[in-house]
Chain A
């Protein structure tokens, strides 16, 4: 499989209060043409920073080491026209659509801005925008184009965002928690639309979410991040039944289940840490039910295992029984 997007050993540091703090550590992943990759993690895990690095939206003063390649060419060094061309091929859908539209401009102006800049005539641009709205299930597109963002619900506005992004005919879509602010029934609908259009058009997708099940539903593979590192990448369908990393298994076990209440949830002790707080050794070791002494000594590398990749000293030894081992350790913790 030829990779459309390749991230290799990406480490990023951001200036915070006069010092550079690490936010990403040695992140490597790839997305094939037309492939959907889920990026799952808790707050501070670096999943949004990874997307921002790919979109070239890291804050000013950020320092990066490693490489990002799109279609084989370097992304981090792009400037001017080349950067603009790159951004036409890589589109971003954010969590809060309301924060990314101009509230005093009509939906139509917002949607056709890029087309108009490219020299498409006004009437033609509007017709294309209305068609794009129809594709995301908004039938009265012409009327919507004349409305302002505040007249649309969150779910409708997010569909406008998806339509707008697809108008630019990108090859890769970065979706950063696009449904987190939406109601669960609206989430299902928006995800169905995004998934369908992506498959129809053969777009690659980097889907960022905190929800393992949601990622599994729309992605081919899922990468799990913790403390600025990828701890596991695996076929989405296997992540639930046969995770490679104790963190993935712990996360799945900690989530309440809609199909059955349990007396106590298998909570993970402590709290998620950011890259700059990560201890020496495995970043998850202080919270890991399966950690041993060696886990605290050195930082494990991301290594291939069973068609996936995992960053865990005990991965070989625990192979095939991580989920079982985690469930067996259920520690009582409040």
Chain B
């Protein structure tokens, strides 16, 4: 098996008394797509922040692209290298873009920082990126406020891809989008993975979205991984009682909402 793009072992994050993430292992193969599934408070977003380097783990190791990033970067150069390798797309395209920069400017900024090249080369690459995510010329020259949520999320995706990362963290990146737009973005993400070989870690509470764009999944509950395996298996035959509850709660034809007790799996405490 080839070297994984991302491997984390024994990840732990404490905030004072609270253990947000407890002994989490995960592995993303080159070109793979892993879902981290869970509800608010499950620790899934904390894991994403640890991987990207927005916060440092209390314990455990994170190896991305063959290099250890468990401790904060010591130099600007190291920080930039980490940024180049792993990028993130946040949930809310209304707050994740600089309101004073057009899509072209936002992309150019990333290119200057991470890839360099002449002005003409960068302009060419900006055009390629805009085309990859389906932004037309007018949209690429517009400020975010003139664009819809779906168009903004395309910019956020293009900006993440501009650094040519090997791994993109999608933190609920399609959750705020309308159904018809969400389908466009999910298709886009699948296309990009096929074309560029980039890997994804999708943080999501939406099991249908998880099924559509990931191969493997881990299910988190109260800071811990309660189930892991191929996405299709987890959703078709969930083994842990929490995963079963999650699966049973998804509205579908013939579904009726029922009151169910939540599993009493012990939460993690320090």
- Residues of chain A whose beta carbon lies under 8 Å from any beta carbon of chain B: 42-43, 137, 154, 183-189, 191-193, 195, 210-211, 213-214, 216-218, 240-241, 250-251, 254-262, 264-269, 271-272, 287, 333-334
Residues of chain B within 8 A (CB-CB) of A260 are: 211
In the complex, B235 has a CB within 8 A of chain A: yes
A194's closest neighbor in chain B, by CB? B257
A298 to B186, CA, bound (A): 34
Residues of chain B within 8 A (CB-CB) of A255 are: 179, 183, 208
A274 to B183, CA, bound (A): 19
Closest CB-CB distance, B204 to chain A, in whole Å? 11
Docked-complex contact A258 and B179, CB < 8 angstroms: no
Docked-complex contact B211 and A184, CB < 8 angstroms: no
Residues of chain B within 8 A (CB-CB) of A269 are: 184
Docked-complex contact B190 and A264, CB < 8 angstroms: yes
A227 to B187, CA, bound (A): 25
In the complex, B75 has a CB within 8 A of chain A: no
Given A183-B205, A258-B207, residue A188 in contact with residue B183 (CB < 8 A):
no
Docked-complex contact B212 and A256, CB < 8 angstroms: yes
Docked-complex contact A217 and B255, CB < 8 angstroms: yes
Q: Which 6 pairs from chain A and chain B are nearest by CB?
A: A267-B183, A213-B251, A183-B39, A191-B257, A42-B178, A254-B183
A188 to B249, CA, bound (A): 6
Docked-complex contact B249 and A187, CB < 8 angstroms: yes
- A-B pairs with beta carbons under 8 Å apart, 12 shown: A42-B180, A188-B257, A189-B257, A213-B252, A214-B251, A256-B212, A265-B187, A267-B186, A271-B148, A271-B151, A333-B187, A334-B187
Closest CB-CB distance, A240 to chain B, in whole Å? 5
Closest CB-CB distance, B93 to chain A, in whole Å? 13
Q: Is the interface of B mostly helix, strand, loop or mixed?
A: helix
In the complex, B138 has a CB within 8 A of chain A: no
Docked-complex contact A185 and B249, CB < 8 angstroms: yes
In the complex, B262 has a CB within 8 A of chain A: yes
Residues of B200-218 whose CB lies within 8 A of A: 205-209, 211-213
A191 to B250, CA, bound (A): 12
A261 to B258, CA, bound (A): 26
Contact among A189, A241, A257 for B260, CB-based, below 8 A: A189
Residues of chain A within 8 A (CB-CB) of B205 are: 183-184
Docked-complex contact A42 and B179, CB < 8 angstroms: yes
Docked-complex contact B249 and A271, CB < 8 angstroms: no
Closest CB-CB distance, B240 to chain A, in whole Å? 13
A42 to B179, CA, bound (A): 7
Residues of chain B within 8 A (CB-CB) of A187 are: 249, 257
Closest CB-CB distance, A31 to chain B, in whole Å? 20
A214's closest neighbor in chain B, by CB? B251
In the complex, B107 has a CB within 8 A of chain A: no
Residues of chain B within 8 A (CB-CB) of A185 are: 39, 245-246, 249, 260, 262
Residues of chain A within 8 A (CB-CB) of B151 are: 271
Closest CB-CB distance, B15 to chain A, in whole Å? 18
Closest CB-CB distance, B211 to chain A, in whole Å? 5
In the complex, B226 has a CB within 8 A of chain A: no
Docked-complex contact A183 and B40, CB < 8 angstroms: yes
Residues of chain B within 8 A (CB-CB) of A267 are: 180, 183-184, 186-187
In the complex, B191 has a CB within 8 A of chain A: yes
A250 to B262, CA, bound (A): 35
Docked-complex contact A271 and B181, CB < 8 angstroms: yes
Contact among B179, B257, B258, B259 for A251, CB-based, below 8 A: B179
